[in-house]
Chains A and B, each alone.
Chain A
């Protein structure tokens, strides 16, 4: 699992696609991916992770897998969500590079060869940027724009499009990043604390052809909580005590203010000390103390955790390179590379 080395990655790259109720697109998706990657002439595999679909997705995918040895289908026992599906695909992947993408055909598999080329020695991860996003403005694009700005600010990894699933990773890096809950949105941020170098590349994006979008506005609240969790995990990864200490400061100051307010009557006009003020001061003082203690507990958790934190530095480099002219079709054809490879 976590201890995989290069030797355990006999293939060149793996394409991981989580599928949930995608019976209409799975066949087309498979064909598009194969068209895009087969001419490259590199050893590859496609991993379809069936996340408990209730339609014929599994049946169709299994049928495809029986004909093409490049395709592997991982069947879940139930529906666990997109991030666990990606995590499963990544755990099973045998390629040195791992490509992840959505199963709804909104990402274009033709971008895969380009992104693989972009993943040079200098980078550990190439993330897609849906420059001309084909989604509804109010319910999808605006919340997404705000979320991306916020995520960039909070995590310090200014990626324009965290929600784009089309990403290419160095397997040795992504297999070290813990993936759970709905953290797939934050993979670049999570990986960057492991010292990963991230590059962003514009990719094409298509309007939804089949089925319904599976996400809506309700996730805003979840994203906010996740973001806070990420901030706790990443920003202060090595110093939970400091992070909790910072949280405690405003409450400690407030406590002090109330304490002063409660003591004022002792010096000025005659009258009893204000019990509610004094009580509030005590409560807030207790809270700051509690938070600092929480930080100490955090230190304990990190020390005993199974992550090698010494590897987790905060260094990251993010560059963005314009590759696609606006709206124009893709310039380099994957076929030409295949021809070179054959020659």
Chain B
């Protein structure tokens, strides 16, 4: 990242889901201006946005607070954000979606709250939408909150203001941007939720298909692993493997006892296949955990398990005694 020269860098990743980006950028800028801070806006274009690119380039020529980054193709939102962070010159970084989620005029609320916390995330509230959507959202966040032990109400909202070091420290790739607050808090940063009015143009028509649900489910599993077991793979794989394997062994023991003492034949029992399959699966999962331990051991130095807030005292020059 560059040296900090402005208060806030707003990073807008533009992907396939987008509204009128040029109009939106203008509204965001208006909102930030009313917050009374110096700012810049960085729009990261992921590939196929021809019309938008020309329009924004024109706009960038007229306004020196606007910059454009064009990526070769759409690498996904996390990569776009990372590209934007790399170019950012703000003391704080604000991520904004390229589609309507919140009312841009509400941004000053976020900026004000950003003074006190390491990260402030917007919660769209009050929330429009059907009861089914609300229910779906509650289930998703309920499961996530249960697993991570953190409390969030709207991880789908891309409006997040964070101190520069948060963006620098947490690597984003794949779909991880969605869980940015979770990852930030697990690194010890304070994250606060702020209620912000939802934009009337915010809608999800046709966004939630079966595939989407499956992705969310795998996301949850990923997060579970990342937050809890990143340095202890054997605790994760070992426990699962042990349970599966132990069930298999137990089942096998029952079969053997039946064979030895109750005269039930073993050779013609498909249950034997099931139980040995479970043993095999258990050992395989366990072995994966061992391989995980090898990975962690050989690459451990790159992963710091702790995060230091500050070091107090001890500034005595060496060799004074």
What per-residue 1/0 map shows which CB atoms of B265-285 lie under 8 Å from chain A?
011111111001100100110
Contacts of A307 in B (CB 8 A): 297-298
Residues of chain A contacted by B273 (CB below 8 angstroms): 275-276, 279-280, 283
Least Cβ distance of B201 to chain A in Å?
38
A178 at the interface (CB under 8 A from B): yes
Decide yes or no whether A249 CB sits under 8 A from chain B.
Answer: no
Name the contact of A72 in the complex, choosing from B287, B297, B314 (C-beta under 8 A): B314
Task: Decide: B297 and A87 in contact? CB cutoff 8 A.
Answer: no
Taking a contact as CB atoms under 8 Å apart, the answer to whether A232 and B290 are in contact is: yes
Bound together, the chains give a CA A261 to CA B319 distance in angstroms of 76
Q: Which of B254-306 contact A (CB under 8 A)?
A: 266-273, 276-277, 280, 283-284, 287-291, 293-306
Complex Cα distance, B312 from A74, in Å, reads 6
Contact of A77 among B187, B276, B305 (CB under 8 A): B187
8 Å CB contact of B294 from A87, A240, A247 = A240
Task: Select B287's contact among A68, A75, A81, A294, beta carbons within 8 Å.
Answer: A294
In contact, B309 and A69 (Cβ under 8 angstroms)? no
Q: Which of B266, B310, B318 meets A94, CB within 8 Å?
A: B318
Determine whether the beta carbon of B283 is less than 8 Å from that of A180.
no
A261 to B289, CA, bound (A): 32
Q: In the complex, which residues 238-297 of chain A have their Cβ closer than 8 Å to any Cβ of chain B?
A: 240, 244, 247, 251, 261-262, 274-277, 279-280, 283-284, 286-287, 290-291, 294, 297
| CA distance in complex: A305, B287 (Å) | 19
What total of chain A residues lie within 8 Å of the partner, measured CB to CB? Answer: 74
Interchain CA distance A181-B292 in the complex, whole Å: 13
- Within the assembled complex, what's the spacing in Å between the Cα atoms of A52 and B297? 25
Q: State whether A70 and B314 are in contact (beta carbons under 8 Å apart), knowing that A233-B297, A261-B267 are contacts in the complex.
A: yes
Inter-subunit contact A301/B238 (CB<8 Å): no
- Note all chain B residues with C-beta closer than 8 A to A68: 313
> Which B residue sits closest to A224, measured CB to CB?
B238
Contact in complex: B280, A305 (CB < 8 Å): no
B296 and A88 contacting across the interface, CB-CB below 8 Å:
no
| Chain A residues, CB < 8 A from B321 | 41-44
CB pair A69–B299 under 8 Å, yes or no, is no
Task: State which residues 84-125 of A face B: CB under 8 Å.
Answer: 84-85, 87-88, 92, 94
- Report if B316 contacts A (CB, 8 A): yes
The answer to whether A74 and B305 touch across the interface, beta carbons within 8 angstroms, is no
With both beta carbons as reference points, the residue of chain A lying nearest to B277 in the complex is identified as: A283
**B235 within 8 Å of A by Cβ?**
yes
Quick one: which of B303, B309, B314 contacts A75, CB cutoff 8 A? B309
- Cβ 8 A contact of B188, one of A78, A81, A276, A277: A78
**Contact of A298 with B294 at beta-carbon distance under 8 Å, contacts A62-B312, A180-B303, A280-B272 already known:** yes
Is B25's CB within 8 Å of the partner chain A?
Answer: no
Q: Mark each residue of chain A from 49 to 75: 1 if its CB lies under 8 Å from any CB of chain B, else 0.
A: 000100000000110011011111111
Which of chain B's residues have a CB closer than 8 A to the CB of A306? 298-299, 301-302
Question: B294 — which chain A residues lie within 8 A by C-beta?
Answer: 232-233, 240, 298, 301-302
**A33 at interface, CB cutoff 8 A:** no
Bound form: Cα–Cα A64–B294 in Å: 41
Interface string of B185-221 (1 = CB under 8 A from A): 0011100000000000000000000000000000000
The verdict on B62 contacting chain A, using a C-beta distance below 8 Å, is no
Contact A85 B283 (CB under 8 A): no
Encoded as 1 (CB less than 8 Å from any A CB) or 0, chain B from 12 to 25 comes to 00000000000000
> In the bound complex, what is the Cα–Cα distance between A88 and B272 (angstroms)?
51
Cα A301 to Cα B313 with chains together (Å): 40
User: Does B320 touch A at the CB level, under 8 Å?
Assistant: yes
Indicate whether A154 reaches chain B with its CB closer than 8 angstroms. no
Interface residue A228 (Cβ < 8 Å from any Cβ of B): yes
A residues in contact with B238, CB < 8 Å: 225, 228
Known: A1-B301, A80-B305, A178-B301. A228 touches B234 (CB 8 A): yes
Question: What are 21 A-to-B residue pairs whose CB atoms are below 8 Å?
Answer: A1-B301, A10-B319, A43-B321, A65-B314, A73-B311, A73-B312, A77-B188, A78-B307, A88-B306, A94-B318, A178-B300, A181-B231, A232-B290, A232-B294, A240-B294, A244-B290, A251-B280, A251-B283, A287-B283, A294-B290, A305-B297
Give the 9 A-B CB pairs with smallest separation, nearest first: A77-B188, A305-B298, A72-B314, A65-B313, A10-B318, A69-B316, A178-B300, A78-B188, A274-B267
Supplied contacts A92-B311, A244-B287, A306-B302, 13 more A-B pairs, CB within 8 Å = A62-B313, A72-B313, A73-B313, A76-B306, A81-B305, A88-B308, A180-B305, A276-B268, A280-B273, A291-B283, A294-B290, A301-B298, A305-B297
